[in-house]
Amino acid sequence: MYAEPNRSRWYALQVRTRWERSTANLLSGRGYQVILPTFSTVQQRLGNSKAVVAPLFPGYVFCLFDANFRLPVLITPGVVAVVKRGSIPAAVEDWEMKTIERVVVSGVQSEPCPYLEAGQNVRIQNGPLCGLEGILITLKDRRRIVVSVSLLRRSVAVEIDRSQVCPIEPALKSIRSLSIMPLLEPVLA
């Protein structure tokens, strides 16, 4: 499973703690396309509250590059490693990057949340995120759709109105049932 030659893909870069913004700026200055999804939050310290912008995926920056020529990316200050499966850099799925980009561009309130593997799969039917798919959860008495980057095992929760979503069937379930059916039929001799 080697990277395709001359094929730029999105990769997740692990970066030093609190270096996300500066590393993204350095990579961007070197000509790389970079995405650093952020969210606004209120930070409480010593009785004072302050509005801050924080990364949706703390410790990670997304960068578009050819994995065969990753050395210039790896020597960028702040970059710790390219996220890998085994010893091979693992590209983030294109549809996951498009989903993250849509969430960032939409301006909808979002925040980090724990990665979920189980839950109701839903599709948003209307609004700026129409067509987006994710997992529906209830958090703090509000409904949210969870959009995940499976490679990082991280997720982002986007607040939505329950009336905007409809349930969807997982594709693998229907494929499994189709492939098992012929095996259950009796063999006539």
Looking at domain 106-178, its CATH architecture is Roll (2.30)
Instruction: Tell me what pLDDT residue 113 has.
Output: 66
Q: How much is the pTM?
A: 0.66
Q: Which two tokens stand for residue 134?
A: 């994710």
- Per mean pLDDT, which range of 5-9, 47-51, 129-133 is the poorest? 5-9
Question: 41 or 160: which carries more pLDDT confidence?
Answer: 41
Percent of residues in the chain assigned helix, strand, coil, to nearest 5: 25, 40, 35
Q: Over 70: is that where the pLDDT of 186 sits?
A: no
Other beta carbons within 10 angstroms of residue 120's beta carbon come to 12
CA distance 120 to 50: 35
Q: What is the chain's mean pLDDT, rounded? A: 80
**DSSP codes joined into one string, 123-180:** EE-SSTTTT-EEEEEEETTEEEEEEEETTTTEEEEEE--GGGEEE---HHHHHHHHHH
* Mean pLDDT score, 7-20: 95
Task: Give exposure, 49-69, as e/b (b: 16+ Cβ within 10 Å).
Answer: eeeeeebbbebbbbbbbebee
Residues of the chain with CATH 2.30.30: 106-178
Q: Where in the chain is CATH 3.30.70.940?
A: 1-92
Between 114 and 125, name the one with better pLDDT.
Answer: 125
d(CA 34, CA 39): 16
Q: Which fold has domain 1-92?
A: Alpha-Beta Plaits (3.30.70)
Query: How much is the pLDDT for 77?
Result: 97
Report d(CA 45, CA 49) in Å as an integer. Answer: 6
Residue 136 CA neighbour count, 13 Å, CB half: 16
DSSP state of 186: P
Q: Is the pLDDT score of 86 beyond 50?
A: yes
Q: Are 43 and 49 in contact (CB under 8 A)?
A: yes
pLDDT at 37: 92
Looking at residue 139, its pLDDT comes to 67
For the stretch 16-75, pLDDT in tens is 999 999 999 999 999 999 999 998 888 888 888 888 889 999 999 999 999 999 999 999
